[in-house]
Structures are given as structure tokens and as C-alpha cells.
A and B are shown apart, each in its own frame.
Chain A
């Protein structure tokens, strides 16, 4: 190969580790609420994020989708603010306010020009701590969420993802759909919503992150004023769903599912459950995902898209969760290639421990750290990372991540595959068209 230069990979990784440095100030209020502050004076923006460690995995079956529904309705008014005084009020100041729900958490965020930091923090705090959930707004928002469910049901990739979680996790709560079911959403009552909010929006589950331009001292005083008033209350075993930590047994269930829809090509996802948020294996899994499925020179793209053309596209990722995470490989391909492609990917995983090269490892680690550096250059990118790991229960990862990635060696990749991938078990979901 015609080398452009002898690449000093160790040197680059060292430089990246310095550039990626994250030094958020961490403060814990007396009632247990955790606050993370990192001033970045190069930005004229302030990112304000409030993470609540409650998501679809915490919901009983009869309330499936309630976390997401609360995310939708929480901005509809408080005792002192109507809905137009919340998100639209932030927009009138040149900012945005929004929210999102996942399996493990719900988070609320605002990104505003720094001069509006105080007012925005005031509004978002009030919305989250004192929601009124007006009945009229609940009834309207039901229709909106039902539309959202319909919208996602029209997306092959969303169907694939939902069915894949269901297949992999079986009876584990991670199999539940974040948006819930139409039946549950149609019948959710205001009382259930208020009760769920009261049970889960408690100090031990709340994580507040500010990044960008702001004054730490005054912001901390403001947060203490609002959130310090919350009574200490540990949700503990009453509301924490212990089932999330069960590693699904992928040997005992159906190994693959095919869904026939009116689509134009075949969408396929395969993978296995792996490390949870407490495990050091997650760093190795992130590196593995970059080796095989990230970038144009990754192994699967090179082999199956560029060389033998079995696939149109392929990528891999590791989704970190409070409980067992999910390592997945996603592909798009002609329908006739799906079986061959799946088998070839399985063999590739099997052979990877003995064939991986230093160059592949270096490429993956460099790209992974480069992406981390780019994420951390924006206030919201940095806040996303800090809040994510804090809400999942391992906040130290943000400061440790770079070093842990640097430590990953070739033998670690081999070990991680042997540990979590049990040939020939590679649960797979396919969405394809009728006459396939």
C-alpha cells in the first residue's frame, strides 16, 4: 500500500486525550440532586439540561409509554405559567427548548444565547418541578402521540429497532417500546400521570447539567433555590425496576424474525446483548463497533459493500444502557442477499479475534476519539455526554472515557467477542417486501 506517512498513532491519541479533556464541576445538593457545571467561554451559548433517570424500562406494562407522554405534556403549563410561557417563551428569546425520552431516561434541554441563561433556567425548572398537566392538554397531546406512533410505524428502521429490542430482551423491560402502545396512550389518566411524576421525579433521579457560557456561582445559587426545596426521597426498590439488570438468554428464544412490509429493499439488524453501564467492557465494545462498522475503511463496509457487494450499507454500534447494552449491526441489502450476508457477518465476528490488525485498532480508536472531541466542542454535545452517563448511574465515565479507550488492545477485542457472542447465536430481525 502506498503510505502517505508513517502514522504516529500514539502521538495523535495523546494529543486527542489532552484536547478531549473534560473538567465539569460536580456538586451534590443536600437532598441528593447532582449538578454538573462546565463553563466554556469560547461559546456564546448556554446549554441547560435536566436529566431524569426514568424511561420505558421503569414502566409497568399497563403504563407503557407514560415516561414519553410526560415528556410531551410537562411543558403544557405550571401554576404560574401557561404553555405559551414555556417553550415558546424561550424561542422568543432566541433559544430552543425540547425534550426526549429513551429506555433509561427522560431529559429536558434548552440551548440559549448566554444572556438568557437565568430566565431559561427559571422556566425549565418550573416546568419540570411544578407541571399542572391540564386535562385539556392531556387530551390533545394524546392525539399528537398517537400520530407520532403512526409516523414511526411507517419507518422501516423504527420497526426494525422496536422488533430487535423485543427479540433480544424478551421478558426484560428493555423490550418495551418507548412510545408505548396506542391502547395505553388512549386511556392514560391525569391521576396516573401525576402519580408517576411524583414517584419518579425525585432528587436521587435528577441530574442537572450546564455547559457553555454562564456564571457557575450564580447558576448554582439559582439551582439550589429551585431544586434544593425538593424533599429528600429515595425512590429505591419501590420504583426501581430490578429486572433491567437481567442478561437476556438469547439461546432460549427465536433467533430471527422476518416482517413483510411494503418496502423497497431489505433492512436487517443483528446483534447480541452485552455489557451494562457499570462494566469496563463498554469501552472495548465501542472500539469494536468502530473497527467493524464505522467509517468507510471499517471491516464490514470494506468487505460487504465495497468488495463483494452483498450489502448497500452496513454499520455497527453499541448502545449503552443501565442494564445490558446492545451491540448491533445494521445493514441494507437486496432481499436475496440477506441470508448470505448474515452468515458472512457471523463468520467475520467469529474470525475477528484472530485476524484483527494494529492498523484496524488504531484507525478505530483515532476516529472514536476524534468524534468525541468534535462532540465536546459544542455546549450541548458536552452536556449530552455528561448527563447521559450521570443519568445511567456512572458519571465518572465522562472523565475516564478517553483513557479507557486508549487502553483497549487487540486482545481485548478478541476477549469481548468471545464473552458476548456465542456462535452461531446472532439474533436477527429483517424487514423486507412481500414476495421475498
Chain B
């Protein structure tokens, strides 16, 4: 069954639900951090292994190496070849996927609970014993180059990459996680193996699990299959905070216009913003929800409901270990792009004051959407591991909502004054 549908607007648990869950957390003798939530009767298990360090530790010449290395993990171990990994996994009703963000890398397993142990054995093997076959490397490199090319056919992807490149000015956060065509073309299998050897340390591994499995059994299984992961001395490589950024206040204003090959135009506009660890993080999340978070947001109201300029418009404030961005985007016709740019500037300029009513509504919206984002088992496991990987700790999964609730009107006012300076707006337009 497959549905072709067109949505009105492309979008994408209750506080007591999240805080009521029992979370098991332990550091195993091997150094691996294990986080677990049992979900009896679900019949499935989701496990995510996080390693601190995504593409932010890459040089421009090696851009894309982390992504490529992670894909290659699934292409051969000392025990299984690529075909065996794929087939045996799927015969068990399991899927193993891998990828990275700026700050962390992730390998995930979704499996029927009954088959957890044999599937986890394969999962552990691809993580601990990859052999990086040359032939498979060339295949994966070819596929990654095709992915990069296909991004050029998407106005959103093209514009987003240009925005990050412009606003992060030479920092690794400005490079796409999939790398550039030129950099990926020149990557070698030796570089992939080297990247793996530097990144995958037992003391940097976090395994987060949600599903139909008891903690004791899980712990026993993880201890069995992650007995002694390779350790690299800390001085050789540090995943945490690799290649970090300029401080707040060093933002700058810039506007770039690019010629596109598309019928529409697209705009990204924004400025640097604090990282996830800063005290103002919840307040900015809240401002983002109020400004551009949904169909009732200020941005949506202005660009779509009032003028009918856009089908798609939103803002985002991603969770980053180092400097994040507060960014706005919209797609519109070429003749309306100036009006949209002007409307974005105006709405940002006039973002203050935010009324108490808006603040309350924003809190409810943010808490509700966070709850919804936890409705799959994969995401419940993912959030626990992600918060741990970005340094806020797995407990932040529940603290986050409390922090949102505790944001005061004064704090909103103060944060807008400190960070929402449109004289430092970075804008890119793909015409």
C-alpha cells in the first residue's frame, strides 16, 4: 500500500508520559554508555549507537569522509560480506542504518524483539569489526556522488547548503554532511578506515535502546558483543567539541544572490545563535515555535495567510554543540522574492514584544510537538542517546519540557534583545 498525497502544509508525550518512564542508565566496564527504556508488549526493539563527532571534525579536503565511512561499515566485516549483512538482517525482520549530523554519528537497529540477539550480533559486528573492502568503497562512493548530484536538483537542499556555507564561513558546520562532489571524488578507502579508527572509541560510544526487552538481558547482550572496542589515546583525537567556533557576537551581515535553475526562488535568512548547552537554549526554542513553528506562527500568518506569497515557510533553531543558527526559509515566485525578504526582515525586526498569550500557546505547541516526535520507538531511543551525545545528558529528554515551561516573559525579552539583531542578518537567495 502506498499513498500519493499532497498536504495542506508540510510539517514534518505529554509531560507526565515522558517523566513516568523508567530509564536505566549505566556505564559498562568496556566504557560503553548504555541507556534503556523497556516497552513491554511492543514486539519490537530500537537501538541507536551514537559516537560523538559527526562531520564537524572534517577538513574541507576530506568533507564527506564521515558519512562515507559510516555507510561502509555495513559493507563488510571479518565475518560477513555486504550481501550477507543485508540479507541476514532483513531475514530477521531487522534494518540497520547509519548516518551523521554535524556533532554525532549514529548507527541504528530496528528489529523484532524475538530476534534481538542475532540482529544485535550483526549490529555489533559492523560497528566493531568493519574491514572496509575496496570494491564496496568504490560502490558507496559512487552512490554518495549520486546523492550529492541529486541534491542539486532540489531547490531546498541547494539553498540550505548555500546558507550554511555562507553563515558558517569556513567552519565545518558550513559543509554538507554528505560532502562536496570534488572532496568525495578524491577520498580513499584508507581515509575511511583512518576516520573510523579515530572516531570509534569505547569511551565515546552511547547505546540507547527502547523496546520490548528487559534491562538485564540487554546489558548481558551488550556486554557480550561489545567486550573490548578499540581504544585510541585521548591525545590523538578528540571527538567532543572538535574544531569549534567563534564566540557569539562575531556574527556579521551578508547577503548573497545565486542564480538557480528552478522555476521558484528560495530564501534563507538568519543569524548565529547559542548552542544547546547555553541557558538561553529553551527560550530560543520557544521563540522559534512562536515565530515560525506552525500554521499559527507569525511567519506563516504573514507570508501565507495574509499575502498568499508562499506554500512553504518556516523557521528553525537546530540543536548544536557549538554555535547554532536561528534561520527562516521560504519558497516563492521570482516576482515575490523581494516582498518575502522584506516581510521576513519586518517580522524579525518586530519580533518583540511577545505577549503572555503567545508565550503560553508557544509552550503548549512546543511540548505537544515534542510529545508527537516521541511517538515512534526509534525516536524514543534516539532522543535519549542524542541528548547524551550532545553533552546535555539523557535526562534532558524530560528536563527539556520543564525548561520550556519555566521560560519567563522577561527571559524572552532579554534573549531577543541579546540575539535577534537584524543588522547581523545573513541572507541567501536562490533566484
Contacts and interface: CB of A to CB of B under 8 A. Distances in A.
Given A87-B296, A144-B304, A96 B372 contact: yes
B314 to A, nearest CB: 13
Contacts of A58: none
Given A2-B79, A94-B365, 12 more contacts: A5-B118, A43-B13, A44-B14, A140-B305, A140-B306, A144-B310, A147-B310, A154-B264, A318-B2, A319-B3, A363-B87, A374-B44
Contact of A144 (B5, B262, B311): B311
B296 A265 contact: no
Interface stretch (B88-96, B219-227, B385-393): B88-96
Contacts of B309: 143, 147
Interface in A368-391: 369-370, 373-374, 377-380, 384-385, 388
A103 interface: yes
B349 interface: no
B3 A388 contact: yes
Contacts of B364: 91-94
B5 A306 contact: no
B263 interface: yes
B369 A94 contact: yes
B249 to A, nearest CB: 34
B264 to A, nearest CB: 5
A332 B146 contact: yes
A302 interface: yes
Interface stretch (B108-116, B193-201, B277-285, B318-326): B108-116
Interface string A199-216: 000000000000000000
21 contacts: A16-B112, A75-B8, A91-B296, A91-B364, A96-B368, A99-B8, A100-B6, A103-B4, A144-B311, A147-B333, A151-B331, A297-B83, A306-B139, A312-B142, A317-B2, A320-B2, A359-B87, A369-B93, A373-B43, A377-B376, A379-B375
Range of interface residues on B (Cβ < 8 Å)? 35 or more
B11 A98 contact: yes
Interface string B278-301: 000000000000000111100000
Contacts of B1: 282, 286, 318, 320, 385, 388
B13 A45 contact: yes
B82 to A, nearest CB: 7
Interface in B1-48: 1-9, 11, 13-14, 16-17, 41-44
Interface residues of A, number: 97
A15 interface: yes
B332 interface: yes
A148 B296 CA distance: 19
Contacts of B13: 43-45, 113
A175 interface: no
A378 B150 CA distance: 32
Nearest to B42: A377
Contact of B153 (A3, A263, A302, A366): A263
A405 to B, nearest CB: 11
Interface string A78-98: 000001100111011111111
A153 interface: yes
A363 B91 contact: yes
B396 interface: no
A87 B295 contact: yes
Interface in A255-270: 262-265
A141 to B, nearest CB: 7
Contact of A112 (B80, B143, B333, B368): B368
A7 B377 CA distance: 25
Contact of B121 (A4, A179, A306, A362): A4
Contacts of B79: 2
A102 interface: yes
A142 interface: yes
B263 A377 contact: no
A352 to B, nearest CB: 18
Given A83-B305, A295-B86, A43 B4 contact: no
Contacts of A91: 293-296, 361, 364-365, 368
Interface-central residue, B14, B74, B115, B153, by most chain A CB under 10 Å: B153
Interface-central residue, A43, A178, A363, by most chain B CB under 10 Å: A363
A197 interface: no
Interface string A150-163: 11111110000100
A140 B92 CA distance: 52
Contacts of B240: none
A131 to B, nearest CB: 13
Nearest to A76: B305
Contacts of B114: 12, 15
A15 B43 contact: yes
B307 interface: yes
Interface string B99-129: 0000000000010101100100110000000
A18 B356 CA distance: 49
